[in-house]
Amino acid sequence: MSILQEQAVQMICGLSDDNVSFLIEIIRRLMPEQAGSEDEKLQAFRRLDAARAEIKQYLPDDFDPDKELEEAREERYGHFS
């Protein structure tokens, strides 16, 4: 253990339980995300990708999302020159 780590442990030993709980919460927020949360993100992406394929069956064959977006903007905001 490095000197810095030993100093941190000594300081933590002097804290009350409430302050240790608060410190743990701060450390959790500062630490990079765990690999488990990355798995959750990947699973969510896969569910979204599968949903896109399922939703696509309900759209017309000639559906153009960019054209739909442009038409919706034109309808809502008008044309800017």
Annotated domain spans of the chain: 35-77
Residues 44-56 have a mean pLDDT of 89
Query: Can you say how many angstroms the Cα of residue 53 is from the centroid of all Cα atoms in its chain?
Result: 23
Q: How many CB atoms are located within 10 Å of the residue 21 CB?
A: 11
Q: Indicate the average pLDDT of the chain.
A: 86
Contact 15, 23 (CB under 8 A): yes
Residues 53-77 have a mean pLDDT of 90
pLDDT at 29 over 90: no
Distance CA 68, CA 63 (A): 8
Residues 6-12 have a mean pLDDT of 91
pLDDT-derived band at 78 (thresholds 50, 70, 90) equals confident
Residue 56 DSSP class? H
